[in-house]
Copies of this chain bind each other. A is one copy, B any other.
Amino acid sequence: MSEQLAPTTSPPAPPASYEPTDRTVPTRSRERASYDRELVHAILDEGYVCHLGFVRDGAPVVLPTLYGRVGERLYVHGSTGSRPLRAAGQADPGLAVCLTVTHVDGLVLARSAFHHSINYRSVVVHGTALQVTDPEEKRLALDALVDHVVPGRSADSRPADAKELAATAVLRLDLREVSAKLRTGGPNDEPRDLALPHWAGVLPVHTAHGTPVPSADQDPAVPVPDYLTAL
C-alpha cells in the first residue's frame, strides 16, 4: 500500500490543530469554535450522514449523503450518473463543496424564549472535491464508507466487483480548511429572569439503535454479528 493512500499510518503526525482561515472563523460565538484535529475526527466519525453543499447554476444545493474518513481525507460516493458526482468529474480542478456534519446533544430550555438553544457538535469542511480515479484508492474509500456505517463490516461482506466499481463514483475532500463548533451546558438566562416560574434546563438527546431486523431472505443459521450488537 502506497504512503499516499494511507496517510494515517504515515509519520510525521499532522499538527494538533487545523489552521483557522477567514471562512472557518465565525463572526460571532467564537468561543464555540475549535480547530482541534482529534475533536474534528471524533465528530466526523460519529455521524452517519453529512450534508454536502455545492453550487449548481449559481444556486446552492445541499444533499444528505454517506461518507467515510481515511486519515485526513473524507470520501463520499454516488452513482456516476448523479449530479454532484458528474459535476465534480467535469469541473477543473474539481467541485467547490462545503461538507457539514452535525450532532444534536440536547435541547436547552431557558426562562426566556430568546435564550432557548440546542447543545450540538458540528464540523464544517470547505474545499474542492476531486473524483478518485486510482482503483486502489477507490477500493480503500469504499471500504471506509462501509466501515463508517458499521465498523468492521467491510471485512464481512462481498467486496465490489469490477462492474460495481465502474458504476460508483467517489469524491475525495481533504481535511484542510476545517472547524468544529459546539455548545454544551445549561441555559444562559438573564439574571432578571431567574425568579420566573418556568422550568429551565437541558433535555439530553442522543442517537439510539434498535434490535437488528434480519432480511426476509436471511438464513436463520447466520447469527447477528458481534460488531453490530456492539453498537
Knowing A54-B60, A158-B113, A208-B207, the reply to whether A81 touches B28 (Cβ < 8 A) is yes
Q: Which residue of the partner chain, among B27, B145, B158, B211, contacts A82 with CB atoms under 8 Å?
A: B27
| Contact assessment for A116 and B199 in the assembled complex, using a CB-CB cutoff below 8 Å | no
- Assign chain A's interface to a size class: 35 or more
- A94 part of interface (Cβ distance < 8 Å): no
| Contact assessment for A116 and B59 in the assembled complex, using a CB-CB cutoff below 8 Å | no
Q: Which residue of the partner chain, among B79, B97, B114, B146, contacts A116 with CB atoms under 8 Å?
A: B146
Residue of B nearest to A158 (CB): B112
Residue of B nearest to A195 (CB): B219
Residues of A bordering B, CB below 8 Å: 23, 27-28, 48-49, 51-55, 58-64, 66, 79, 81-83, 96-100, 102, 104, 106-107, 109-114, 116-118, 120, 122, 124, 126, 142-143, 145-146, 149-150, 153-154, 156-161, 164, 168, 186-187, 189, 193-219, 222-225, 228, 231
Given contacts A59-B126, A61-B98, A116-B146, 14 further A-B contacts (CB under 8 A): A28-B79, A48-B205, A64-B102, A112-B157, A113-B143, A114-B164, A114-B168, A116-B149, A189-B217, A201-B215, A204-B213, A205-B208, A206-B207, A207-B207
